[in-house]
Amino acid sequence: MALAAALRVPARFLLRAGSRLQGAALGLTERAAGGGDGARRFGSQRVLVEPDAVPGVAVMRLNNPPVNRLSLEFLTELVISLEKLENDKSFRGVIMTSDCPGVFSAGLDLKEMCGRSPAHYAEYWKAVQELWLRFYQSSLVLVTAINGACPAGGCLIALTSDHRVLADNPKYSIGLNETLLGIVAPFWFKDTLVNTIGHRAAERALQLGLLFPPAQALQVGIVDQVVPEEQVQSVALSAIAQWMAIPEHARQLTKAMMRKATASRLITHRDEDVQNFVSFISRDSIQKSLQLYLERLKQRKG
């Protein structure tokens, strides 16, 4: 854990003075609540966190309607919420789930990647990197209760967790489908998927932009359990209890050992990765592709 601890910077320092994100950070509130660890819950406009009845467990609910797109503000609120849980020693595990019906997270917010300045693209990508590094290296047990569609960036969040439970609903699928939008998943997206399902399965999934329905997701190993939708939360609680039953020090050190190489690769090449993203996303062809996709989405909603 020494590496992870040394590399972590409090999330508040990610916020620049005068930034529009500062209001989101200051909007995090704590209030008394009955039951649970410390009888406390906290949250923000987009992230709701409360203690579960099971001691040591918090539930983090993603609440950025309509589809939990990962905007710059939402990314920052997620990181701050996780940091608060890590600093509260009464919590040892977190269940992540969605408060948006039918969707866990639709992934990266394309509006943050289209028609903006290179400086904005860089700021946004740094926030995406920070989210992945914080969740992937967290000392807490993270279990994802996937109660809706989980493509692209939503899948990436799920892949940072220790255990994934997916609702058995044919409308729900999970995968890194960036190529379908003309976008190339960066190396650390790829590394995370390879670590989960193996090289050949990941190569095929990434090139074809595959989204796995529940049965296939379980078969390929991108999720650990598929259960009836009404049982997702209870099964996630059972799973987190199994992980939390392991001696904490041994589990944390093992997790850090297993994930160190993957995290270190991004940390070492972080600036280069930002530059590559800004260069790629700024291309006229990519911008036109994103604009067309956003226009089609707008027409569908209309």
Q: What is the pLDDT of residues 205-235, one digit of tens each?
A: 999 999 999 999 999 999 999 999 999 999 9
Is 142 catalytic? The answer is no
d(CA 213, CA 173): 4
Of residues 153, 154, 175, 209, which has the active-site annotation? Answer: 153
Residue 24: pLDDT band (50, 70, 90) is very low
d(CA 47, CA 99): 9
d(CA 52, CA 30): 16
d(CA 127, CA 75): 6
Residue 123: pLDDT band (50, 70, 90) is very high
CB neighbour class for 178 (10 Å; exposed up to 12, middle 13-18, buried from 19): buried
Asked if 97 contacts 233 with a C-beta cutoff of 8 angstroms, the reply is yes
Is 153 catalytic? The answer is yes
Q: What is the pLDDT of residues 138-156, one digit of tens each?
A: 999 999 999 999 999 999 9
Question: Is position 47 within any domain?
Answer: yes
Of residues 64, 178, 209, 211, which has the active-site annotation? Answer: 178
Question: Is position 232 within any domain?
Answer: no
Q: Which of 157, 256, 174 is nearest to 215 (CA)?
A: 174
d(CA 77, CA 45): 9
**Cβ partners under 8 Å of residue 227, min gap 6:** 165, 166, 167, 168, 235
Q: Within 13 A of 217's CA, how many CA atoms are on the CB side?
A: 30
CATH classification of the domain holding 272:
3.90.226.10
Question: Is position 241 within any domain?
Answer: no
Q: How many helices (H) and strands (E) does the chain have?
A: 12, 13
The SS3 assignment for 3 reads helix
Of residues 64, 68, 169, 177, which has the active-site annotation? Answer: 177
Asked if residue 89 has pLDDT above 80, the reply is yes
Q: Which of 83, 85, 78 is nearest to 41 (CA)?
A: 85
Of residues 21, 70, 72, 108, which has the active-site annotation? Answer: 108
Is 63 catalytic? The answer is no
Averaged pLDDT score across all residues of the chain? 88
Question: Is position 234 within any domain?
Answer: no
Question: Is position 44 within any domain?
Answer: yes
d(CA 121, CA 183): 14
Is 178 catalytic? The answer is yes
Question: Is position 71 within any domain?
Answer: yes
Residue 102: in which H helix or E strand, if any?
A: strand 102-103
Total domains, the chain: 1
Q: Within 13 A of 77's CA, how many CA atoms are on the CB side?
A: 28
Q: Which residues pair with 167 in a beta bridge?
A: 227
Q: Which of 61, 112, 29, 80 is nearest to 294 (CA)?
A: 112
Question: Is position 157 within any domain?
Answer: yes
Q: Which residues pair with 49 in a beta bridge?
A: 42, 60
The SS3 assignment for 236 reads helix
pTM reported for the whole predicted model: 0.86
**Cβ partners under 8 Å of residue 212, min gap 6:** 173, 174, 175, 205, 220, 222
Question: Is position 203 within any domain?
Answer: yes
Q: What is the pLDDT of residues 61-78, one digit of tens each?
A: 999 999 999 999 999 999
Query: Residue 201's domain spans which residues?
Result: 2-227+250-301
